[in-house]
């Protein structure tokens, strides 16, 4: 089973939930897909055994073959190619803007002259490690790189279906999140009882409904803020699977890179229960169809 | 000779739009005949690549020079590849900018005058 942990708003406790859930269970593979700022390794402390570079395929034009027909520019959804037809007997030219390219491959596939090859552009690294029989994979996007989905996609190729896979997703509701949670069997939405938490939770719920991924809510710092998040969950008939009250102790241990369950062992049962609840929801959903 | 001025409106009395890639309109002006034609810039709303698309649009109109406020790196590179001379710092009405250009009041730029997505920031204001 693949369980992803997401949130609309940043800083609600995705990594805290993902890491503690992972440490409470057995036969886990952990994927930190928040490649713009991966931080799960700080808590899981894996020993990195393998490192591979991540690439995105960008077009390389063979000027000798190119007829400047403009087909590549037409099919590029990201405006990463400019074809300038020549005039007055002057030869045209093709400009490629690699930083706008998403590596979809349409240009090279559809070039009538087969004048486009794909060249690899380095976007980051993937690191693979292990700790106490937990498999660990994360990606690190290069500083200044604007596009994370290709790296997230490459990272997800390492998913081990023989294990319970926990994906720590990036915050937000745009492409990087969608790429990270796509294909999950279940998604945990971590939120906080504030107007910001609620606003972004609603957006995240819309995304998951569109992706048809079953989900449940975890409310972090549940005893501060207001009751609007709970109200919303009730109204929308969404299960609240766990509440973590605010605790200075948890905050301190977080800042020291220590998981909650190492500080307060009673949390291990709570996270195991969370997992069992997810399984129950999943099997109920399966029997319904 | 045909030149292009980025413009807020569609007449010669309109103000020069200081952005290139995300300007509202392009005014194509024939310096020989004094004829002009306005074209709305449909690339202005693009998330990315507006400058490149706008530069291509301008290039497809066989323009020799562009008068605008500022130009970003991608647009500049594309305009340069198309052999179009770029003049930045244009302000006031389109008519005034054209007059100044005719008198040789602008100096061609040899590189972009602003960073990427500057026009997008401008739009948010």
ipTM associated with this complex: 0.78
pLDDT at A287 exceeding the cut of 90: no
Do A139 and A231 share a domain, yes or no?
yes
Helix axes A195-211, A228-235, angle to 10 degrees: 30
pLDDT at position B123: 60
CATH code of residue A112: 3.30.70.20
pLDDT at position A127: 98
User: What average pLDDT does range A285-289 have in this prediction?
Assistant: 69
Q: Which of A63, A95, A99, A175 to mutate to test the interface with B (most CBs of B within 10 A)?
A: A95
φ, ψ (nearest 5 deg) of residue A122:
-70, 125
**Contact state of B81 with A93 under an 8 Å Cβ cutoff:** yes
Q: Which of A79, A86, A100 to mutate to test the interface with B (most CBs of B within 10 A)?
A: A79
User: What average pLDDT does range A89-102 have in this prediction?
Assistant: 86
Do A24 and A78 share a domain, yes or no?
no
Token representation of residue B15 = 């103000």
State how far the alpha carbon of A156 is from the alpha carbons of A114, A238, B5, in Å.
31, 28, 48
Do A41 and A131 share a domain, yes or no?
yes
The closest of A236, A188, A231 to A208, measured between CA atoms, is A188
pLDDT at position A89: 65
Between CA A160 and CA A182 the distance in angstroms is: 15
Between CA B52 and CA A76 the distance in angstroms is: 12
pLDDT at position A87: 67
Task: Let me know: does A242 contact A267? Beta carbons within 8 Å.
Answer: no
Buried b (16+ CB within 10 A) or exposed e, A120-136: ebebbbbbbbbeeebbb
Do A248 and A170 share a domain, yes or no?
yes
Q: Give per-residue pLDDT as tens, A229-263.
A: 999 999 999 999 999 999 999 999 999 999 999 99
Where do the domains of chain B lie? 2-118
Do A214 and A268 share a domain, yes or no?
yes
Name every chain B residue with its beta carbon within 8 A of the beta carbon of A95. 52, 77-78, 81
Token representation of residue A162 = 């023989």
pLDDT at position A35: 97
Residues whose CB falls within 8 Å of the CB of residue A68, separated by 6 or more in sequence, listed in order: A83, A84, A85, A86, A91, A92, A93, A94
Of A75, A104, A121, which residue is a domain's last?
A121
Instruction: Using pLDDT thresholds of 50, 70 and 90, give the confidence band for residue A120.
Output: very high
**Contact state of B56 with A93 under an 8 Å Cβ cutoff:** no
Q: Which of A84, A90, A99, A174 to mutate to test the interface with B (most CBs of B within 10 A)?
A: A84
User: What average pLDDT does range A131-152 have in this prediction?
Assistant: 94
pLDDT at A27 exceeding the cut of 70: yes
**Contact state of B56 with A73 under an 8 Å Cβ cutoff:** yes
pLDDT at position B120: 73
Sheet holding A215-220, edge to edge: A47-61, A116-131, A134-141, A28-32, A164-168, A2-6, A186-191, A215-220, A240-244
**Contact state of B56 with A84 under an 8 Å Cβ cutoff:** yes
pLDDT at position B122: 64
The closest of B27, B122, B30, B120 to B68, measured between CA atoms, is B27
Between CA B122 and CA B8 the distance in angstroms is: 13
What fold, for B2-118?
Nucleotidyltransferase; domain 5 (3.30.420)
Instruction: Mark out the alpha helices in chain A (DSSP H runs).
Output: 14-24, 40-44, 71-75, 106-110, 149-156, 175-181, 195-211, 228-235, 248-255, 260-263, 266-288
pLDDT at position A209: 96
pLDDT at position A84: 87
DSSP category for residue A142: P
| Closest CA of chain B from A103, distance in Å | 15
The closest of B33, B53, B35, B34 to B43, measured between CA atoms, is B53
Q: Give per-residue pLDDT as tens, A203-218.
A: 999 999 999 999 999 9
B115: burial class by Cβ within 10 Å (0-12, 13-18, 19+)? exposed
Do A49 and A84 share a domain, yes or no?
no
Q: How many domains does chain A have?
A: 2
Cβ atoms within 10 Å, residue A234 = 11
For B4, the enclosing helix (H) or strand (E) is strand B2-7
Instruction: State which residue of chain B sits closest to A70, comparing Cα positions.
Output: B56
User: What average pLDDT does range A18-38 have in this prediction?
Assistant: 97
Ranges of residues in chain B with a pLDDT under 50 are none
Do A111 and A166 share a domain, yes or no?
no
Residues whose CB falls within 8 Å of the CB of residue B98, separated by 6 or more in sequence, listed in order: B3, B5, B12, B29, B31, B67
Cβ atoms within 10 Å, residue A159 = 14
Between CA A118 and CA A135 the distance in angstroms is: 32
**Contact state of A80 with B49 under an 8 Å Cβ cutoff:** yes
Numbered residues of chain B with Cβ closer than 8 Å to any chain A Cβ: 46, 48-50, 52-53, 55-56, 59-60, 62, 74, 77-78, 81-83
| Closest CA of chain A from B52, distance in Å | 7
pLDDT at position A59: 96
Residues for chain B: how many in total?
125
pLDDT at position A288: 65
Range of the domain at A102: 56-121
pLDDT at position A286: 75
**Contact state of B49 with A84 under an 8 Å Cβ cutoff:** no
Of A83, A101, A121, which residue is a domain's last?
A121
Identify the three-state secondary structure at position A231.
helix
pLDDT at A278 exceeding the cut of 60: yes
pLDDT at position B72: 93
Candidate from A79, A93, A97 with C-beta closest to B46: A79
**Contact state of A95 with B78 under an 8 Å Cβ cutoff:** yes
Q: Give per-residue pLDDT as tens, A53-74.
A: 999 999 999 999 999 999 999 9
Candidate from A82, A85, A93 with C-beta closest to B52: A82
Of A121, A145, A176, which residue is a domain's last?
A121
Candidate from B48, B60, B82 with C-beta closest to A100: B48
Do A176 and A70 share a domain, yes or no?
no
Decide which of A184 and B60 is more confident: A184
CATH code of residue A181: 3.40.50.300
**Contact state of B62 with A87 under an 8 Å Cβ cutoff:** yes
Q: 């250009």: which residue's tokens? A: B101
Instruction: Point out the least confidently predicted range of A28-42, A88-102, A191-205, B53-67.
Output: A88-102
| Closest CA of chain B from A64, distance in Å | 17
Identify the three-state secondary structure at position B98.
helix
Numbered residues of chain A with Cβ closer than 8 Å to any chain B Cβ: 73, 78-80, 82-85, 87, 90, 93, 95, 97, 100
Instruction: State which residue of chain B sits closest to A95, comparing Cα positions.
Output: B78
User: What average pLDDT does range A114-139 have in this prediction?
Assistant: 96
Do A216 and A84 share a domain, yes or no?
no
User: What average pLDDT does range A267-277 have in this prediction?
Assistant: 97
Q: 């004048």: which residue's tokens? A: A115
């Amino acid at each position: 089973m693949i369980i992803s942990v997401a949130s609309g708003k940043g800083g609600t406790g995705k990594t805290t939930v993902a890491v503690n859930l992972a440490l409470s269970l057995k036969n886990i593979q952990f994927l930190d897909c928040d490649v713009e700022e991966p931080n799960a390794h700080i808590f899981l402390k894996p020993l990195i055994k393998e490192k591979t570079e991540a690439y995105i395929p960008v077009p390389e034009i063979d000027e000798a073959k190119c007829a400047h027909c403009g087909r590549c520019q037409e099919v590029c959804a990201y405006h990463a190619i400019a074809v300038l037809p020549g005039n007055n007997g002057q030869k045209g030219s093709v400009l490629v803007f690699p930083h706008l390219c998403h590596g979809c491959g349409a240009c090279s596939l559809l070039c009538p002259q087969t004048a486009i090859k794909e060249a690899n552009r380095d976007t980051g690294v993937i690191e693979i490690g292990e700790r106490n029989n937990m498999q660990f994979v994360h990606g690190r996007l290069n500083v200044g790189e604007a596009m994370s989905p290709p790296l997230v996609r490459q990272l997800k190729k390492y998913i081990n279906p023989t294990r319970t896979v926990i994906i720590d997703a990036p915050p937000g509701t745009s492409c990087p999140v969608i790429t990270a949670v796509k294909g999950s069997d279940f998604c945990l939405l971590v939120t906080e009882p504030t107007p910001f938490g609620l606003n972004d939770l609603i957006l995240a719920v819309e995304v998951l409904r569109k992706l048809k991924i079953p989900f449940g809510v975890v409310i972090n710092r549940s005893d501060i803020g207001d009751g609007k998040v709970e109200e919303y969950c009730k109204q929308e008939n969404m299960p609240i699977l766990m509440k973590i009250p605010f605790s200075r102790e948890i905050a301190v241990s977080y800042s020291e890179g220590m998981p909650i369950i190492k500080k307060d062992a009673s949390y291990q049962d709570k996270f195991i229960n969370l997992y069992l609840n997810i399984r129950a929801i999943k099997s109920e959903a399966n029997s319904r169809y | 000779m045909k030149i292009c001025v980025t413009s807020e409106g569609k007449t010669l009395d309109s103000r020069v739009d200081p952005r290139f890639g995300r300007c509202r309109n392009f005014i194509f002006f024939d310096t020989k005949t004094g004829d002009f034609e306005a074209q709305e810039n449909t690339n202005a709303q693009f998330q990315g690549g507006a400058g490149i698309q706008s530069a291509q649009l301008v290039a497809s109109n066989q323009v020799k020079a562009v008068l605008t406020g500022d130009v970003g790196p991608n647009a500049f590179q594309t305009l340069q590849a198309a052999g179009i001379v770029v003049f930045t710092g244009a302000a006031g009405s389109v008519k005034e900018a054209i007059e100044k250009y005719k008198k040789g009041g602008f100096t061609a730029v040899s590189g972009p005058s602003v960073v990427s997505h500057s026009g997008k920031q401008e739009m948010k204001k």
